[in-house]
Amino acid sequence: MHLHRALVPAFVLLAACSGPAGRTEAQAPPLAQPTRAAPSDPLNMKASFAPVVRRAAPAVVNISAKRVVRQQVDPFWQMFGMGVPPSRVEGSLGSGVIVRSDGIIITNNHVIEGGQEITVALADRREFPARVLLVDARGDLAVLKIDAGAERLPVMPIDDSEDAQVGDLVLAIGDPFGVGQTVTNGIISALNRAADPQGGTPMTYIQTDAAINPGNSGGALVDMDGDLIGVNSFIVSRSGGSAGVGFAIPAAMVRRVVEAAAGGGHVLVRSWLGARTQPVTPEIARSVGLSSPQGALVADIWPGGPADRAGLKSGDIIVSVNGRPVTDPAAVSFAVGAARPGESLALSVRRNEQVIKASLRPEPPPAKPARDEWLVDGRNPFQGATVVNVSPAVAEELGIDAFSSRGVLVINISRGFAMNAGLRPGDVVRQVNGREIGTVADLRGALSVPAANWAVTILRGEREITANFRT
């Protein structure tokens, strides 16, 4: 955000709810930032969002994606030319934002996921076919490209300065139904809010009370300068409608994804901390002298990783990154993942009741040991399972914990004995017939010895399971 902020009617409520005029300065200290003052005269009370909308709205687009879905057909009715057709076309509608004048657009991955035909409708109703440049399923972002010839399309600037504050006014702009744009206003109600809408690794979001209508996914969360500070992703609502708590992916991650796509990348390789962190509980906070349970406790260090080279140790508590307070491990993961490889991050770390400074240089996670993907065959309990070695790179790709998943990971189950044996993707193979399994090569060796009975030990989540099989 820039320093200039337009004053808007919503501030009238703030003025109306303020205390009596006779309060002393001791009771009502001056605002820390004058640029966020309430309206001072009737003219200011007539201010409007219109200038912000005029600047931002031309860059907001509608996105439609069509996909062909195969359906199960009853052969009996098909003999008589009846029944459902073998396939049907499904569609989805969402929004997007033009972030480069040559036609690069950011949206949510779930808007275009599985789409075989993607169409972008501009604010002036012109339509263009779009192709996918990059998909980041973990972060629910996708980058599209349309070809408008030599025309320079309207762009919404990305503001990743991260100077937004709770209470700042924002607009949610989308084009949800292909019939016109919608604009709603609200405030930022939380920053770095950890949430896990997809059941995977928690991400951090900007939380807002601005109404996010159905189809606004992929639309813009805009500050009072008309800049993009987030991409609206989802809403938590009891009614299922637009009234609820909205969540937007912060602009720092949006910029990383756009830069990766513009540079020819098809996936986003996030920077890596090289440490496993966990929340600071009230008990931990009391034991180390913290006034509140804030920060990220370093539980484990990957040898030779960025955290190790920065001098971090198990038991350290990361309390800030680049001067911004850390509330939980998700805030650290976001700050590191949004950093460009090689970029230096300034950490404040609490160790033995003292705060020390550390300089961390995140880097892409290493692919060691090599992936060595193998579809298991032969007469054994793993027949039909696809397995890989777990490295930090594989863990990052699959959204799993590299520390607890060291070994051989099952990533897919197809037809075969493995399906009947109850193996699942995500299982980590520990032992086969008493032999320790640390790599795919170890598993190959163990399965190469013929046996009628197999004793298999796997790690599933935090449970270690041993079972016996006959093949």
> Angle at the Cα of 287 (from 283 to 291), degrees rounded to 5?
80
Instruction: Please state, in angstroms and rounded to a whole number, the distance separating the CA atoms of residues 417 and 429.
Output: 16
Please classify residue 185 by burial: count the beta carbons closer than 10 Å to its beta carbon, then call 0-12 exposed, 13-18 middle and 19+ buried.
buried
107 with 63, same domain: the answer is: yes
What pLDDT shows up at residue 155?
Answer: 95
Q: What is the pLDDT of residue 204?
A: 85
Instruction: Tell whether 339 and 436 lie within a shared domain.
Output: no
Task: Classify residue 350: in a domain, yes or no.
Answer: yes
Same domain, 308 and 229: no
- 258: domain CATH number is 2.40.10.120
Tokens 């060291």 — which residue?
406
Token duo for residue 306:
């960025």
Q: What is the DSSP secondary-structure string of 368-390?
A: -S----EE--SSSTTTTEEEEE-
Same domain? For 379 and 436 the reply is: yes
CATH classification of the domain holding 339: 2.30.42.10
Integer Cα distance of 370 and 284 in angstroms: 37
Say if CB 396 and CB 416 are below 8 A apart.
no
Q: Per-residue pLDDT for 357 more than 90?
A: yes
Residue at a domain's end among 304, 333, 360: 360
Count the alpha carbons within 13 Å of 234 in the hemisphere toward its beta carbon: 16
Between 283 and 32, whose confidence is greater?
283
Please give the structure tokens belonging to residue 302: 């990957």
- 407 within some domain: yes
pLDDT band at 42 (very low <50, low <70, confident <90, very high): low
Tokens, residue 426: 């995500």
Q: Determine, yes or no, domain membership for 366.
A: no
The residue with tokens 């002393």 is 24
Domain end (from 336, 360, 384): 360
Mean residue pLDDT across the chain = 83
CA distances (Å), origin 383, targets 370, 376, 416, 458: 22, 5, 5, 15
* Residue whose C-alpha is closest to residue 173's, from 156, 195, 194, 158: 156
Gap between the Cα atoms of 243 and 210, Å rounded: 8
**pLDDT tens for residues 15-39?**
333 344 344 334 444 444 545 565 5
**Shared domain check, 191 and 108:** yes
| Residue 324 maps to a domain | yes
DSSP-based three-state secondary structure for 260: helix
- Among 98, 119, 138, residue whose Cα is nearest residue 269: 138
The predicted pLDDT at position 309 comes to 94
Specify if 186 maps to a domain: yes
pLDDT confidence of residue 27 = 45
Burial class (CB within 10 angstroms; exposed 0-12, middle 13-18, buried 19+) of 173: buried
Q: Are residues 200 and 79 in the same domain?
A: yes
Among 360, 382, 412, residue at a domain's last position: 360
Q: What is the pLDDT of residue 8?
A: 41
CA atoms of 111 and 91, how far apart (whole Å): 10
Which DSSP helix (H) or strand (E) runs through 268? none
pLDDT bin (cut points 50, 70, 90) of residue 444 is very high
CA within 13 Å, CB half, 53: 15
Ranges 59-63, 177-181, 359-363: which has the least confidence: 177-181
Q: Are residues 232 and 354 in the same domain?
A: no
DSSP 23: -
- Per-residue pLDDT, averaged over 247-253, amounts to 92
**Which residues are tagged catalytic?**
110, 140, 217
The confidence score (pLDDT) of residue 160 equals: 84
pLDDT tens column, 112-130:
988 888 999 999 889 999 9
Q: Would you give the end-to-end CA distance of the chain in angstroms?
A: 65
184-211 average pLDDT score: 81
- 159 and 255: one domain? yes
pLDDT at residue 64 is higher than 50:
yes
Does any domain span residue 212? yes
Contact, 249 vs 172, CB < 8 A? no
Residue 3 predicted with pLDDT over 80: no
Of 239-248, 254-263, 446-455, least confident by mean pLDDT is 239-248
Among the listed residues 357, 362, 367, the one whose alpha carbon sits nearest the alpha carbon of residue 312: 357
**Distance (Å, whole) CA 384 – CA 42:** 73
Assess if residue 12 is contained within a domain: no
What per-residue confidence (pLDDT) applies to 457? 94
For 37, counting Cβ atoms within 10 Å of its Cβ (0-12 exposed, 13-18 middle, 19+ buried), the class is middle
259 with 281, same domain: the answer is: no
Instruction: Assess whether 115 and 214 both reside in one domain.
Output: yes
Q: Whose structure tokens read 């090689």?
A: 342
Structure tokens belonging to residue 255: 């910029």
Tell me, what DSSP letter sits at residue 366? P
* One domain, residues 106 and 251: yes
Residue 230: name the closest of 320, 135, 140 by CA: 140
Q: What is the total count of domains within the chain?
A: 3
The closest alpha carbon to 42, from 5, 6, 12, 10, belongs to 12
In angstroms, the CA 99 to CA 257 distance is 11
DSSP 36: G
Coil, helix or strand for 310? coil
Where is average pLDDT lowest: 10-14, 305-309, 383-387?
Answer: 10-14
Report the distance separating Cα 296 and Cα 131, nearest Å. 40
d(CA 340, CA 108): 21
Q: Which domain holds residue 349?
A: 275-360
**Pairing mode, if any, of strands 104-107 and 141-146?**
antiparallel
Q: Note whether 171 and 311 are same-domain residues.
A: no
Q: How far apart are the C-alpha atoms of 144 and 54, rounded to whole Å?
A: 24
Higher pLDDT, 101 or 70: 101
Whole-prediction pTM: 0.75
Confidence at residue 31, expressed as pLDDT on a 0 to 100 scale: 45
How far is C-alpha 232 from the chain's CA centre? 12
Q: Specify if 119 maps to a domain.
A: yes
